Amino acid sequence: MADARPFHWEYRPEPAAPEAFRIEGGAPLRGTVAVSGAKNAALKLLAAAVLTGERCRFENVPEIEDVRVMVQVLTDLGVVVDHPAPGVYEVAAGDVDWLFIPLEAAAKMRASFILLGPLLTRFGRVIISNPGGDRIGRRPVNLHVDAMRALGAEIDYRNGYYYAQAPGRLRGGEITFPQVTVMGTENAMLAACLAEGRTVIHPAAQEPEIDDLMAFLVKMGAEVARTAPDTIEVHGQRRLRGANHRVVPDRIETGTFLVAAAVTGGKLTLENAACEHVGALLDLFARVGLPVRCEGTRMEVDATGLRPGDLRGLDIETAPYPGLATDLQPPVCVLLTQATGDSHVHEAIFEDRIEWLGELRKLGATVDIADAHNAVIRGPARLHGAEASIGDLRAGASLILAALAAEGTSLIHGAHHVHRGYENIDRKFQQLGATITRSADPA
Ligand code: EPZ
């Protein structure tokens, strides 16, 4: 499929100086936007390439900061990574010089921990830093460590680092998680692919990015499949081969642009989208009173006829897939500020992914934060320009949505958070008629 990427590709590494978005809100967004490849698939696919010494080629990789960090971590290990064209990365992990993931990498990006499984199962040992990641909760990795131990790994924790080794080879086994964990499932699956024997992972997370990763592993020669919606079974192989793969569309970016149309009273067509991965969000849009048209990889939403208050408020609760994704809670909260009534928000996955609503309040939203997991949004509220600060990736993109919907000018500090996970988001919004610029933070 030709890349319908209407933007000039130009990856700009993060500037040293902090940057802010300056946004003039109030204009309805109109036009067509191409959804990029999924960050939370691409990062794991790049890590999975370490399972073989042969070359792997990935297309539709989003040009975002987190991908740049993952590439840096891989090249620091001694893995060869080529970047022959926009969105195209080739990885050849013939051998590695170092089996060490430093604190700096982990502090920049929690997803670096996904290298635990592949490095341990391929090379038999790894020293990896306890990760940092977004400011949305404690986010421990105990379930990942337990999963590796269930496969026979010996792991000690000293001075902020996990010292992991697999005497001989990892052995297949039963991995039973006490709760659903996305990257825990992925680390277990990756490690099991080269472990000796059969591994059963239950409950296995069901996010579409996991099935995208599984599809790539099967192309590599892995024997891995879902034997039930929440169960993954793996029969380990001695070696895997190189393979090519196109990254699945980003369902969180998809939801972000659907909400952008709704809250600006605009009309958008999304290309390269995956309707089948945003079912919970489409149900929510229908209940709020703004149906979305889906045809294959195109989605259309038209909010031009909406009047303030036409949208109906409703209660939401985040849940593991196929429930409403926690990463969609922030954009959906912006939508609910424009809906009539009291909407109760229950953030069930992370312990402080509600606090960002305090920043949304600065733009005029009426929000009562009850505790770390619950809030009430009262709408419809007229949003106005304001200064606000971004604490994490998804909240950042949602503050942009609120500023686009607001009357007046907003200054949103912390642009780098957003560029970790959204490719060219300011350019994409500009092409849809938004007045948004990113520049050195005057603060
Ligand atoms: C993945 O994080 C995503 N990140 C997150 O997206 C996403 O919000 C999350 O899944 C939930 O869908 C990537 O894929 C890189 P979890 P992950 O393990 O795997 C607790 C974004 O913005 N837990 O499913 O780290 C954890 O604290 C990011 O792209 C443990 O207690 O999430 C949380 O409360 C934000 N111990 C719950 O489980 C563990 O060892 C679910 O976390 C692991 C997790």
Chain segment 342-369, per-residue pLDDT in tens: 999 999 999 889 999 999 999 999 999 9
Q: Hey, which of 187, 210, 327, 419 would you mutate to test ligand 1's pocket, going by the most ligand atoms within 8 Å of its Cβ?
A: 327
Does residue 408 have a pLDDT over 80? Answer: yes
How high is the pLDDT of residue 13?
A: 60
Ligand 1 centroid – CA 207 distance (Å): 11
| Ligand 1 atom nearest 145 alpha carbon | 40
Residue 431 CA to residue 138 CA, distance in Å, equals: 37
Confirm if 428 and 256 have CB atoms less than 8 A apart. Answer: no
How high is the pLDDT of residue 95?
A: 86
Ligand 1 centroid – CA 294 distance (Å): 29
Q: Hey, which of 134, 135, 139, 248 would you mutate to test ligand 1's pocket, going by the most ligand atoms within 8 Å of its Cβ?
A: 139
Q: How far apart are the first and last CA of the chain?
A: 44
Q: CA 395 → CA 7, 270, 332, 389, 415, distances in Å?
A: 24, 21, 11, 9, 11
Selection from 404, 430, 385 nearest residue 264 by Cα: 404
Q: Where in the chain is the domain with CATH 3.65.10.10?
A: 19-36+249-440, 39-246
For the domain made up of 39-246, give the CATH fold: UDP-n-acetylglucosamine1-carboxyvinyl-transferase; Chain (3.65.10)
| Ligand 1 atom nearest 142 alpha carbon | 40
Does residue 375 have a pLDDT over 80? Answer: yes
How high is the pLDDT of residue 131?
A: 86
Residue 98 CA to residue 95 CA, distance in Å, equals: 9
How high is the pLDDT of residue 12?
A: 55
Q: Which residue has better confidence, 109 or 6?
A: 109
How high is the pLDDT of residue 304?
A: 97
Residue 380 CA to residue 368 CA, distance in Å, equals: 14
Q: pLDDT tens digits for 263-311?
A: 999 999 999 999 999 999 999 999 999 989 999 999 999 999 998 889 9
Read off the pLDDT band of 112 (50, 70, 90): very high
User: Strand order of the sheet with strand 88-92?
Assistant: 80-85, 88-92, 55-59, 244-246
How high is the pLDDT of residue 5?
A: 42
Ligand 1 centroid – CA 180 distance (Å): 9
* CATH superfamily placement of domain 19-36+249-440: Enolpyruvate transferase domain (3.65.10.10)
Selection from 89, 38, 151 nearest residue 422 by Cα: 38
How far does Cα 211 stand from its chain's mean position? Answer: 15
What mean pLDDT comes out for the span 382-402?
97
Query: Can you tell me which residue has the tokens 């005497």?
Result: 167
Does residue 133 have a pLDDT over 80? Answer: no
What mean pLDDT comes out for the span 406-429?
96
- Exposed, middle or buried by CB within 10 Å (0-12, 13-18, 19+), for 406? buried
Does residue 419 have a pLDDT over 80? Answer: yes
The residue whose CA is least distant from atom 44 of ligand 1 is 181
Residue 360 CA to residue 389 CA, distance in Å, equals: 9
Confirm if 131 and 105 have CB atoms less than 8 A apart. Answer: no
How high is the pLDDT of residue 10?
A: 45
Mapping DSSP to helix (H, G, I), strand (E, B) and coil, where does residue 16 land? coil
Residue 225 CA to residue 219 CA, distance in Å, equals: 12
Read off the pLDDT band of 160 (50, 70, 90): confident
Confirm if 118 and 47 have CB atoms less than 8 A apart. Answer: yes
The residue whose CA is least distant from atom 31 of ligand 1 is 140
Pocket-forming residues, ligand 1, beta carbon under 6 Å: 39-40, 43, 110-111, 134, 137-144, 179, 181-184, 325-327, 349-350, 393-394, 421
What mean pLDDT comes out for the span 100-109?
87
Q: pLDDT tens digits for 162-193?
A: 999 998 899 999 999 999 999 999 999 999 99
Q: What is the dihedral of CA 364, 369, 375, 381, to 10 degrees?
A: -10
| DSSP single-letter state for residue 167 | S
Q: pLDDT tens digits for 55-96?
A: 999 999 999 999 999 999 999 999 999 999 999 999 999 989
Does residue 8 have a pLDDT over 90? Answer: no
User: Which residues contact residue 110 at a Cβ distance below 8 angstroms, ignoring those fewer than 6 apart?
Assistant: 131, 132, 133, 134, 139, 183
Does residue 336 have a pLDDT over 90? Answer: yes
Peptide bond into 203 cis (omega under 30): yes
The percentage of residues in the chain with a pLDDT greater than 70, rounded to a whole number, is 95
Q: pLDDT tens digits for 228-272?
A: 999 999 999 999 999 999 999 999 999 999 999 999 999 999 999
Mapping DSSP to helix (H, G, I), strand (E, B) and coil, where does residue 117 land? helix
The residue whose CA is least distant from atom 39 of ligand 1 is 141
Tokens of 47: 């890590």
Q: CA 368 → CA 184, 365, 375, distances in Å?
A: 33, 10, 5
Ligand 1 centroid – CA 182 distance (Å): 6
- Rama region for 188: left / alpha / beta (φ>0; ψ in -120 to 50; rest): alpha
Ligand 1 centroid – CA 225 distance (Å): 22
The residue whose CA is least distant from atom 20 of ligand 1 is 139
What are φ and ψ of residue 57, in 5° steps?
-125, 130
Report the chain's mean pLDDT, rounded to a whole number.
94
The Cβ of residue 165 has, within 10 Å, a number of other Cβ atoms equal to: 15
